[in-house]
Amino acid sequence: PEASPHPPMVELSRYACKRRTSTENHNEIFTDAFEVLAESYEFSQCDSQCLAFRRAASVLKSVPCPLQHVGAAASLPCLGGHTRAVMQEILQYGQSCEVEKILCNDRYQMLKLFTSVFGVGPKTAEKWYRGGLRTLKDALEDPSIELNSMQKAGFLHHKDISQSVSRAEAMALGDILHETALGISAHAVLVLTGGFRRGKAFGHDVDFLLSTPEKGKEEILLLSLVDSLRRQGILLYCDHHTSTFDINNMPGVSFEAMDHFAKSFLILRLYDSQVEGGLQRVEGQDDGRSWRAVRVDVVTPPMERYAFALLGWTGSRQFERDLRRFARKENRMLLDNHGLWDNTKKEFLEAESEEDIFAHLGLEYIEPQLRNA
Ligand code: DCP
Ligand code: MG
């Protein structure tokens, strides 16, 4: 039989949680453009346009080959007129004029810069921009701005934490935290989650789940861990959120809402000698330091909530969003980082593993490495 010039594409679902998406993106020229547009819409609080571009990017990430013409996108879900027009422009001229305009836009550049500081969200960034601030120095020196402690730490370590974290660095931090946790309790369980669990080579932070089979001891374990890191001299910053988890209040409906488990947002000091192959070199920085600062999140769910927390913290965000949407729309169930509520049976469904949760939802299991939607 004759080889077809366009191999038939596997039909892709409109739900990210039914698509397999590796870390290999063959359509970066389009998805990078879509991410810029999504971010720009986010800065303008145009949530539905933002989501539309995030969905379109997510779909293209799961296409196993570079798309050569817009016609090839015809059978793909979540690609509307606007997204196709951007693709067409990129295919024809190598870039999208709308995207180029955004990238040169003063407000976009400033919001991007301000939100790159740990502790500064789009709302604060917008306020600073409206107040006439144009550089990070402006924000630091403006007498009318009172920085909170997270933002102070964000400014102090900005150079380091705006530099991505390598896989080797994430592994080294895992070893340090693991050893520290086991020094506190022989029962401590620590796993890497977030982007690194999905096989990403780089991340903006390192995410961990910490737990213990000793009921009710999770948060104490976390507090002891942080304390031990402080005594080791490697704790640069800690923002601890105490547990507000209540079995009677789960699960919540909103995706963006943070879960209720005890957690700490940390900045840790990582030494060159602790990392195989050494630290990522910070561009243009040679101040003789033998360490860098890294953002680390540690979340401590109780053991019986572990599978839900693991699934929720592994991401990607788009994968999570669609897991919840799929549960709600297709199963009349509510899923979040704490549990799964079956609205037909009026009961919580238990799970010991991520596989159990996929099975409850009637979904084929997708391994972490294929959740990069
Ligand atoms: N997450 C969540 N709810 C939140 C924040 C995060 O469910 N409010 C989940 C989805 C994310 C995961 O936790 O994929 C980790 O969050 P990160 O922001 O660290 O994202 P990633 O680890 O995926 O990417 P990065 O490389 O930017 O760290
Ligand atoms: Mg992360």
**CA-nearest residue, atom 8 of ligand 1:** 258
Q: Pick from 357, 34, 287, 313: which is nearest to 197 by CA?
A: 313
Selecting among 160, 207, 259, 322, the annotated active-site residue is: 207
Per-residue pLDDT at 256: 52
pLDDT score of 340: 94
Predicted local confidence at residue 1, as pLDDT: 42
| Pairing between β-strand 235-241 and β-strand 262-271 as defined by DSSP bridges | antiparallel
Residues forming CATH 1.10.150.20 domain(s) in the chain:
106-149
Architecture of domain 16-102: Orthogonal Bundle (1.10)
Give the span between the Cα atoms of 190 and 172, in whole angstroms. 13
In this predicted structure, what is the pLDDT of residue 246? 83
Instruction: Quote the pTM value.
Output: 0.94
CA distances (Å), origin 185, targets 208, 215, 224, 260, 324: 17, 13, 10, 23, 34
CATH class of 106-149: mainly alpha
The predicted pLDDT at position 282 comes to 62
The domain over range 310-370 is classified in CATH as 1.10.3480.10 = no
- Boundaries of CATH 3.30.460.10 in the chain? 165-306
- What is the mean pLDDT for each group of 10 consecutive residues in the chain (373 residues)? 50 97 98 98 97 98 96 94 97 98 98 98 97 96 96 97 97 98 98 98 98 97 98 98 82 65 98 92 72 98 97 98 97 94 94 98 98 98
Of the residues 142, 272, 297, 356, only one is catalytic, namely 297
Give residue 48's pLDDT: 97
Q: Which residues contact 21 (CB under 8 A, 6 or more apart)?
A: 58, 61, 62, 316, 319, 370, 371, 372, 373
Candidates 118, 178, 188, 128; CA nearest to 153 is 118
Token output for 197? 């669990």
Whole-number pLDDT of residue 258: 82
368 lines ligand 1 (CB under 6 A): no
- Would you state the CATH architecture of domain 165-306? 2-Layer Sandwich (3.30)
| Residue extent(s) of CATH 3.30.210.10 domains in the chain | 310-370
Taking the centre of ligand 2 as the mean of its atom positions, its distance from the CA of residue 68, in whole angstroms, is: 32
Our answer to whether residue 205 is catalytic in this structure is yes
User: What are the C-alpha distances in Å from 77 to residues 53, 67, 128, 158, 269?
Assistant: 12, 14, 38, 39, 44
Give residues whose Cβ lies within 5 Å of ion ligand 2. 194-195, 203, 205, 207
Q: What is the pLDDT of residue 286?
A: 67
Which listed residue (205, 259, 322, 336) is catalytic? Answer: 205
Q: Is the CB of 84 under 6 A from ligand 1?
A: no
